[in-house]
């Protein structure tokens, strides 16, 4: 389990939206070890959201219970106040089989296998090994876990658009990675067409800012709670509420080769030590346990 200080370091990291998604991938699962900052009225408030909780459960089961599921995805990062202006764009693909998950986002490949969760950064030639999580992360929060919901959910709101699609807005307590998550879905099939994640971030401009973001991202992936000695030298960025809009297309239930979920595609273990497979010779293997 990642420590609270390590998680806070990741939360405070000054990365832009799309690169930050590589780390956000696991944060909500790890957050279950954090003391919640909920108020005493949480149970009462959620108790009045029966319809919203039922819709949330139906959406989650649509993906958790899948034997075979795949889809293409588009990721757009923007200032939540100016969402029409896309600051970063990326494409990706998801595959799900029960509690296993494989995902490709540009040059970052990640999977939850039978033993571990791996994040493979092909651009930086690095393989990060994390403890396996108790749920696959098509949606970045264990929303079927009632104890998680009681501890970390602030409120829920359900709205219906003119085209009949519904949006379930989930609001999180202060201190969580996200402040809000919007699930846009078909109320008949409960298939998602879009997820929006809102969170506080800092955006830098220029090449120097990009270099700082890249170095801090590497530090965050390695874990640890040492103070970044470069902090005073960093350029000042713009603080804003960023939003990552993930839209889904080509959702299928066709069978495919389950070998895609095998950790052994990337690593092997001798004793307590991990090594990269020959195909990934030269990649750094970094356990973050």
Q: Are 79 and 9 in contact (CB under 8 A)?
A: no
Residue 58 C-alpha from the chain's centroid:
20
Q: Superfamily for 4-287?
A: Lipoprotein localisation LolA/LolB/LppX (2.50.20.10)
State the CB neighbour count (10 A cutoff) for residue 245: 19
From first to last of the 289 residues of the chain, give the pLDDT tens digit. 333 233 333 333 334 444 444 444 333 333 334 444 455 566 666 777 888 888 988 888 887 777 899 999 999 999 888 888 998 999 999 998 988 899 999 899 999 999 999 999 999 999 999 998 776 567 767 777 777 777 788 889 999 999 999 999 999 888 888 899 999 999 999 999 999 999 888 776 655 445 545 555 556 555 555 445 544 555 567 788 899 999 999 999 999 999 999 999 999 999 999 999 999 999 999 999 7
- Provide the residue ranges of all domains of the chain, joining segments of one domain with +: 4-287
Query: pTM for the whole thing?
Result: 0.70
CA distances from 52 to 169, 188, 231 (A): 9, 15, 42
Q: What are the helix (H) ranges across the chain? A: 4-12, 17-30, 42-47, 50-64, 146-152, 206-222
Backbone angles phi and psi of 26, in degrees to 5: -115, -5
Sign of CA dihedral 20, 25, 26, 28: positive
Q: Please list, in sequence order, all residues whose beta carbon lies within 8 angstroms of the beta carbon of residue 257, skipping any fewer than 6 positions away.
A: none
């Amino acid at each position: 389990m990642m420590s609270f200080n390590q998680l806070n370091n990741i939360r405070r990291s000054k990365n832009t939206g799309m690169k930050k998604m590589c780390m956000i991938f696991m944060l909500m699962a790890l957050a279950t070890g954090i003391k919640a900052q909920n108020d005493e009225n949480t149970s009462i408030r959620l108790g009045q959201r029966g319809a919203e909780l039922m819709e949330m459960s139906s959406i989650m089961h649509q993906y958790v219970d899948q034997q075979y599921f795949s889809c293409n995805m588009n990721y757009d990062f923007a200032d939540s106040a100016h969402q029409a202006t896309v600051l970063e764009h990326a494409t990706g693909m998801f595959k799900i089989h029960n509690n296993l998950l494989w995902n490709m986002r540009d040059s970052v490949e990640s999977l939850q296998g039978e033993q571990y969760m791996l994040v493979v950064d092909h651009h930086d030639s690095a393989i990060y090994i994390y403890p396996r999580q108790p749920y696959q992360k098509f949606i970045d929060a264990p929303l079927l876990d009632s104890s998680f919901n009681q501890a970390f959910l602030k409120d829920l709101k359900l709205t219906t658009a003119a085209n009949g699609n519904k949006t379930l807005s989930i609001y999180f307590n202060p201190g969580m990675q996200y402040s809000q998550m919007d699930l846009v879905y078909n109320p008949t099939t409960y298939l998602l067409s879009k997820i929006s994640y809102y969170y506080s971030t800092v955006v830098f401009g220029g090449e120097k800012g990009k270099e700082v973001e890249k170095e801090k991202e590497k530090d965050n992936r390695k874990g640890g709670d040492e103070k970044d000695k470069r902090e005073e030298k960093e350029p000042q960025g713009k603080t804003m509420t960023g939003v990552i809009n993930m839209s889904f297309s080509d959702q299928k239930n066709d069978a495919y080769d389950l070998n895609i979920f095998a950790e052994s595609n990337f690593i092997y273990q001798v004793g307590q030590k991990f090594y990269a497979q020959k195909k990934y010779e030269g990649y750094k293997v970094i356990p973050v346990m």
